[in-house]
Amino acid sequence: MLNKYARAFFTRVLTPFAAFLLRRGVSPDAVTLIGTAGVMAGALFFFPRGEFFWGTIVITLFVFSDLVDGNMARQAGISSRWGAFLDSTLDRVADGAVFGGFALWYAGTGDNNVLCAVSIFCLASGQVVSYTKARGESIGLPVAVNGLIERAERLVISLVAAGLAGMHKTFGVPGIEILLPIALWVVAAGSLVTLGQRVVTVRRESAEADAASAGGTAGATGSAS
């Protein structure tokens, strides 16, 4: 849902920066790769150590590359299937690093096996949610559904909560560390709902497509006879 309404706003905001990078000879693919590397570094260096505030700051600096690279490609008129594939693939890598960082913290110093498992579920369910849409589209279905918790929501909820929770360790703000566990449970539950929404949508659309194909075949047979 956030993806639908926020992407247009941030695209407008980041357009001048994208144009600046193009004038400096930076390619969209380079921005994609650097952005993913930055997100991975922030998540896998800071999060396993419990440095959620600084990890979130680093990740936030790089996560907007997902909007900048596409903006650059459109401005330069070089949008391509390869660029779309690379961007989508590295999005999954970045998401895995974020929730993997949470899982490493809870498996280690955080010492909470339940929240470690919830973090792993968030990681896996996010990948499957993305796969259902990609797989549905690959067999010719529109997968026309805005899920409850899509990629933008997963990142915003988890990173905002992590950043705020990190203020407990970094600045001594009391009681705020509970926000991250709450956010992980919300993302896990929302991802499960979203997965169900997409599966139901694909089932309905595939049944409609199969019925239309059968009707078209029967009509063609009747005309021939």
Is 89 known as a binding-site position? no
Helix intervals (H) in the chain: 2-23, 28-41, 52-63, 65-76, 81-107, 113-138, 151-171, 179-224
Q: How far apart are CA 214 and CA 143, in angstroms?
A: 21
Helix (H) or strand (E) holding 9: helix 2-23
Is 66 known as a binding-site position? yes
Is 29 known as a binding-site position? yes
Helix intervals (H) in 108-150: 113-138
Residue 91 falls in the annotated catalytic set: yes
Residue 64 CB coordination number (10 Å): 16
Is 210 known as a binding-site position? no
Q: How far apart are CA 79 and CA 148, in angstroms?
A: 29
Q: How far apart are CA 185 and CA 191, in angstroms?
A: 10
Residue 16 CB coordination number (10 Å): 10
Catalytic residue among 91, 95, 111, 210: 91
Is 31 known as a binding-site position? yes
Is 135 known as a binding-site position? no
Q: How far apart are CA 194 and CA 144, in angstroms?
A: 13
Is 111 known as a binding-site position? no
Please give the structure tokens belonging to residue 85: 């594939």
DSSP state, 107? Answer: H
Is 77 known as a binding-site position? no
Is 95 known as a binding-site position? no
Binding site residues for Mg(2+), as ranges? 66, 69, 87, 91
Binding site residues for a CDP-1,2-diacyl-sn-glycerol, as ranges? 29-32, 70, 74, 80
Catalytic sites, residue numbers: 91
Binding site residues, as ranges? 29-32, 66, 69-70, 74, 80, 87, 91
